Amino acid sequence: MINLKKESTILITGSSGLVGNSLVNKLTSKGYKKILTPSSKELDLRNQNQVENYFKNNKIDYVFHLAAKIGGYKGKIDYPAEFIYDNLIMACNIVESSKKHNIKRLIFIGSSTIYSNEGHQPFKEESLLLGKLEPINEGYALAKTMGLKLCEYYNRQYNTNFIGLVVCNIYGPNDNFGSNPHVIASLIEKFYSAKKNNLSFVQINSSGKIKREFIFVEDLVEAMLYFIEHANTKELKTFVNIGYSKDVSIKDLALLIKEVVGYPGEIKFDELREEDMPKRLLDIRKANKLGWAPKTSIKEGIKLTYDWFLKNKCGK
């Protein structure tokens, strides 16, 4: 184990995003001062020369690679090439420059979409590459799988400490309310707006039956900090699953958010909607054995997210 020194230079890619914002806040509150947070305009991670020059010009000790091309159902249908190319090339550029510049430790974030529906659930780390991927997520999932494999192979060949964390759906303060929001952010907005406008019902674009796993963003930040400090553990030469370890149906999630928001009306589901994987749950026992576990219950996390939304987003 190492302690991340306060004077370390830390590069956070994707710092304007849901996870990046929480990580920057956490590191700042702990007294880290040399945090590099370039936006995509300042540093386009798809451009190898830009990435290489950035590493040359900044003496970086640690890297959290959080940047990704992310989007909802429609985005993945309309821009499949961007999902595979952007995510893959960003991972290649970051991993290669991190090796060249002797970065002490790197965190790479994967996604639970890398596992095939054909596999046994909850998904263990060993289930990777055991079947076909969901067609809608295939490009994104392949790029994420390659990112994990890059870390694993570089560790094997160059003895680097590059750590892959495979994460379920994430939610929390700083989520992307408004444009292209994630599930929980979108439901909070819907119930808030229905309450404000005295609507008699909220229409949910799901049958309500599919189940998903959600982790509170601050628990993920704790996991990243924990595993970057424990990076030379043998098991981390591959990757580890990070999740909440329980899933929830979209129906129960909607009922929970309705309660937290205090919306008195009805909820209507789209019973006929065709949906992708009925369930996607991670087995997090490896992370538990290595010493990490999530702390925030889904109800508590949703309350914290809603409080943040009320203070920062609604009406803006």
Ligand X SMILES: NC(=O)c1ccc[n+]([C@@H]2O[C@H](COP(=O)([O-])OP(=O)(O)OC[C@H]3O[C@@H](n4cnc5c(N)ncnc54)[C@H](OP(=O)(O)O)[C@@H]3O)[C@@H](O)[C@H]2O)c1
Residue ranges in contact with ligand X by CB under 6 A = 13-20, 39-40, 43-46, 66-70, 86, 109, 111, 167, 169-170, 176, 182
User: Which of residues 91 and 194 has its CB atom nearest to ligand X in the complex?
Assistant: 91
The yes-or-no answer on residue 140 being catalytic is yes
CB of 44 to ligand X, least distance (A): 5
Amino acid identity of residue 116, one-letter, is S
User: Which of residues 14 and 139 has its CB atom nearest to ligand X in the complex?
Assistant: 14
CB of 222 to ligand X, least distance (A): 15
Q: Which of 32, 54, 140, 154 is catalytic?
A: 140
**Closest-approach residue to ligand X (CB):** 17
Q: How far is CA 165 from the centre of its chain?
A: 9
Rounded to whole angstroms, the Cα distance separating 52 from 93 reads 8
Query: CB neighbours of 102 closer than 8 A, spacing ≥ 6?
Result: none
Rounded to whole angstroms, the Cα distance separating 271 from 70 reads 27
Beta carbons of 215 and 243 less than 8 angstroms apart: yes
Tell me how far apart the 2 most distant CA atoms of the chain are, in Å.
61
CB of 220 to ligand X, least distance (A): 8
Tokens representing 281 are 């749950």
CB of 7 to ligand X, least distance (A): 25
User: Which of residues 46 and 190 has its CB atom nearest to ligand X in the complex?
Assistant: 46
User: Which of residues 263 and 309 has its CB atom nearest to ligand X in the complex?
Assistant: 309
> At 113, phi and psi to the nearest 5?
-70, -10
Catalytic annotation, residues = 140
